[in-house]
Structure formats: structure tokens, C-alpha cells
Copies of this chain bind each other. A is one copy, B any other.
Amino acid sequence: MAMTIVTIAEALGLSKSTVSRALSGKGRIGEATKRRVYDYIESHEPESELLKSPKAKRKTYNIGVAIPTFSDAIHLPFFQRCLLGACDFAQSVEYNVLVVGIDNDKIQPLERLIKDKKVDGIILTRALVDDRGIRFLKKKDIPYIVVGSVEDKDVYQIDSDNRSGSKELTSYLYMVGMKKVGLIGGHRNHQVTLDRYEGFLDGVKAAGKQVDDTIIYLDALTDIAIHQGVKQMIRKGADCIVCMDDYICSRVLKELREVEETQVAVATLYDTGDEVFDGTSVFSLRYDPNELGLEAAKLLFNLINNKPVNKRTKLGYEVILRKSNKKSRKEDNDEEKVPTWRRL
């Protein structure tokens, strides 16, 4: 038979209301008494529901992960991997993960998750410049973590160090002899686009070059736009094209192959290690989306459980020259990080 508040009161020589207060935390209650009550329950029936405070009872042991539903997102394994990383951590602390698909103009699924009190906290896997999801969560009394970078200092956030990475790779490109570097990127409404853009400019300056020597082409949202961007860069004499992500990179490679242009080098500022390059030699910044999701879940877990959490977390990256597969197969696919580079 399960313990009740009365059996405890009798066993400890207290009144049932004192025990009630000890457990609920409400009202005035002595620290020593509280200890006695908790110790008694823990030693006699550690599984007891009584140990769970009314607040704890309302805990769901679920976290919510919001992933974008539309367009470019579907091409990138980033979100899937981020989600699985979060699942991985959640599993380790016996939490579960609820997913919702949202877009900036459609956040109802997120709203419903909060309204129905289905989760103890939320992870947003993408940050937009003016993000309705973040605006909504700020108003609610629920912990949340944003994967990505936002200006707002009040928002707990975790991100790959896009700016530093982009700077490092860009200046590296000049080091190995590039003369005219082009940058092609996506939506300016995505914070990452801006971060990588800034990092790119940092790199150009660090290499002692002029921004005038570069060709910048943003808002390349469609394949047509990428096609035009590449055409423009070739016309203007770029010897290297820096792509902001895997997807753009795969399209750029395709464009170059189609026009049989083999004298232009390619780099990507976001390489998740999913082989979308068909083995072509590409400079890249290698990030791990799984880790991002896992760390985000860890931060959220700490936030939920009132442990100290930094407002901003940055994860690292690797600078990689991916060798052509023909070569790397012979050498058992190991990666080479020395600053040599061969034309395609």
C-alpha cells in the first residue's frame, strides 16, 4: 500500500498539514522538518508520488524541438541531424522529444505545444533575423534555446562559430594564392547568412585585401539565382567561389561542371560531412549538426533544472581540404589538412 501524508505524519510524530507543507514547499516550513520528511520517504518508498512536488507533477519530461518545414530546409540534413542529437541527449536524461514543423509565417504548432503544456522547454533549430518564434517564446514563461545566432542578448543561444570560421577559411584561401574570391549565399533574413558574410569580410581584411577584389552575391534562393550568380562570377574573373552552405555548393559545382569550367576553386562555409560534392575537391568548414542539437538539449535541460547556463555558446569547426575521392579512396578516405590544393 502506498504511503500517505498521514502515515508519514504518524511515523514522524508530525501533523498531516506539516507533512503536506514539507512536500509542497508552500507556507512556512522548517528546513529540518522538510529534510526529515524527505529522508523518511526516500528511505521507505523512493518511488512515491509524494516526492514529486505539485510543480514537479506538472513536469512533462518532454522538450520541444522546432524544425523548419519549407523550401531549402528540406535539402539540408542539418535539421534531421540536429534533431537526432537532441533525441540522443534527451534519451540519456530520460526526457522525450516532441517535434513541430514551423515557418516564420506559421508558428501555430509551436503555440499549441505551449498552450497544451506538452513540454518543459523548447529548442528552435533556426534563427531568423526577425523571428516570430523567438518573439512568441519571449512572451511566454518557458525556457528555450535557439540554435543559431540572434542579436538579442536575453536569448539563450548556441551556434557554430560561423563568423570566426568564415574568417579563417577566407583568409586561408588568399594564403594559398586566390586572387579574386566570390561569395554566394542565401537569404539575408537568416542570421547565419549575415554572420558568414561578416566573417568573409573579416577574412578579406585579415588577408590584407580590398573588398573591391571580391564579388558578393546574396539572396541566391533558387537554382536559377545560383546559376546566374555563378555565371556572373565567372564573367568577372573569380578564381574561387565561396558558398555559404552545402546545398549551394553542390549546385555551384554542378554549374561549373556544365560549363566545363575547371579553373575555378570552390569552398563551402558549411560542410556537414554529408557527401553532396560527388568527390570534388572543395575547401570547407566542417561542422557537426548532431553535436549542435545535443549541446542545445543539454543547455535546455540545465535551464529547466535551474542550473547555471551561459547565454551564448559557440561550437568549433574544422578547416578542411576535401580531396577528390579518386585519390582519397586509395588512401582510405583520410582527410588532408595541409595547405596544398589541386585544380579540378
Number of copies: 2
Question: When the two chains form their complex, are residues A74 and B69 in contact, meaning their CB atoms are under 8 A apart?
Answer: no
A218 within 8 A of B: no
- For A97, the chain B residues whose CB sits under 8 A away are 98-100
Given A99-B99, A329-B227, does the pair A257, B274 have CB atoms closer than 8 Å?
Answer: no
A81 within 8 A of B: yes
Question: When the two chains form their complex, are residues B227 and A250 in contact, meaning their CB atoms are under 8 A apart?
Answer: no
List CB contacts (< 8 Å) of A319-341 with chain B.
Answer: 325-326, 329
Partner of A69, one of B65, B84, B224, B274: B84
Shortest beta-carbon distance, A319 to chain B, in Å? 23
- For A316, the chain B residues whose CB sits under 8 A away are none
Distance A329 CA – B225 CA, assembled complex (angstroms): 12
> Residue-by-residue, is A79-100 near B (CB-CB < 8 Å gives 1, otherwise 0)?
1110110011001001011111
- For A96, the chain B residues whose CB sits under 8 A away are 98, 100, 112-113, 116, 118
> Residue-by-residue, is A274-299 near B (CB-CB < 8 Å gives 1, otherwise 0)?
11101100000000000000000000
A258 within 8 A of B: yes
Distance A276 CA – B100 CA, assembled complex (angstroms): 26
Partner of A112, one of B91, B98, B253, B276: B91
Distance A84 CA – B75 CA, assembled complex (angstroms): 13
Partner of A118, one of B62, B67, B84: B62
Question: When the two chains form their complex, are residues A109 and B91 in contact, meaning their CB atoms are under 8 A apart?
Answer: yes
A101 within 8 A of B: yes
A residues with CB within 8 A of B = 61-62, 65, 67, 69, 74-75, 77, 79-81, 83-84, 87-88, 91, 94, 96-101, 108-109, 112-113, 116, 118, 223-224, 227, 250-251, 253-254, 257-258, 274-276, 278-279, 325-326, 329
Q: Give me 8 A-to-B residue pairs in the complex whose CB atoms sit less than 8 angstroms apart, sorted by A's number.
A: A62-B118, A69-B87, A74-B81, A88-B101, A91-B112, A94-B112, A96-B112, A257-B278
